[in-house]
Structure 1
Amino acid sequence: MWDYLLVFLLAAVPWFEIGLIIPVSILAGMNAFWVAILAFFGNLLTVYLLIVFFDRLKGWFFRKKKKEQSDQEEDSGRYARANRMWDKYGVSGLLLAGPFLTGSHIAAGAAIVFGATKTKTLYWSTISLGLWTLVFTIGSIYGLGWLTDVNLSF
């Protein structure tokens, strides 16, 4: 039972999320159905909290941030990827690709910063996390099956 609670909690952490937790948990021999359900809801819970309390979090973040970043620094890394996704595909594309490219939390925050409504962000985040949970779960199950069929002796 503690293993499954850990799946829920780690899936809620922005740097672990479903893309890491689901494959590792299934590889560890845990039940794929319960791993998928708990990872989905763990990740979704913190994404929802981020979206609902975004205004407060944004204010806290900018108060904590003491130094100014130049435009060049701000356009680097995950923010730049999120910005490109937004420009090309809008809120649905950003949030559908988010868990794979930037992480679901960053994608949801970026969608709101770029102008998406909270309702639309909640809607597309739920769909995105549901689809990616299925992809990671099925991929992990079949990937593990493939690994057990392969003779890895040298």
Structure 2
Amino acid sequence: MIWTYFIIFILAAIPFFEVTMIVPIAIIGGMPAVPVILISILGNLLTVALFIIFVDSIRNWRKKRKTNVETNDSKRHQRAKKIRDKYGLPGLAFIGPFFIGTHLTALLAVTFGGTRLKTLVLMTASIAFWAVSLGGAAYLGFDFLVTDEDDGFITRLLNQ
């Protein structure tokens, strides 16, 4: 089981997997909801915090990699800018992870003028919100698929 939790931690830390995908999959797979949610939050928050801390280096790397026209015209960038303009930085922090991912949301939040501390606090709250919401929905919504005799597909794979 420790390896399973380690894999959940690593997958939650990887951009575009994150808590929005890993938490529901692990819970539907038969893993206990509370440890999965907590480990996923820690894994995702670790890399998001690193993104926020090293945002200047990341921004310079992106500028070297892409021209300004390409950066400003990407669909994700435009979607994030639209969300930020309409709902502000808190809106971007809470809505962004579901549509564009937590890592890119954190990067764009700092790029759009949010301080590192404010962005870190908002992203922590956002990651926790999405992990608990999606974890609860997966647990309550798919609990009927797992009977007492059936522990879920992840547990079956581990027991084989």
With structure 1 as the length reference, what TM-score do the two structures score? 0.88
Q: What SS is found at the alignment partner of 2:107?
A: helix
Show the counterpart of 1:26.
27
Show the counterpart of 2:58.
57
Tell whether the 8 Å contact from 2:30 to 2:146 is kept in structure 1 after alignment: no
Mapped partners of 1:83, 1:38: distance in 2: 30
Mapped partners of 1:89, 1:138: distance in 2: 26
User: How far did 1:101 drift?
Assistant: 1.3
Mapped partners of 1:74, 1:28: distance in 2: 39
User: How far did 1:75 drift?
Assistant: 2.8
User: How far did 1:76 drift?
Assistant: 3.4
More RCO (CA 8 Å, sep 6+): 2
User: How far did 1:146 drift?
Assistant: 4.3
Are 2:18 and 1:10 aligned? no
Mapped partners of 1:76, 1:62: distance in 2: 14
In structure 1, the gaps of 5 or more residues are 150-154
Question: Which digits, 9 at most, give the CA deviation of each residue in 1:52-103, with x for residues without a partner?
Answer: 110111122323x1x53536x7333211110001101111000011211111
In structure 2, the gaps of 5 or more residues are 148-160
User: How far did 1:38 drift?
Assistant: 0.5
Show the counterpart of 2:74.
76
Cα RMSD for the two superposed structures: 1.7
Count of aligned positions: 146
Show the counterpart of 1:36.
37
With structure 2 as the length reference, what TM-score do the two structures score? 0.85
Mapped partners of 2:16, 2:99: distance in 1: 12
| Residue identity opposite 2:48 in structure 1 | V
Aligned with residue 97 of structure 2, among 96, 99, 112: 99
| Residue identity opposite 2:118 in structure 1 | K
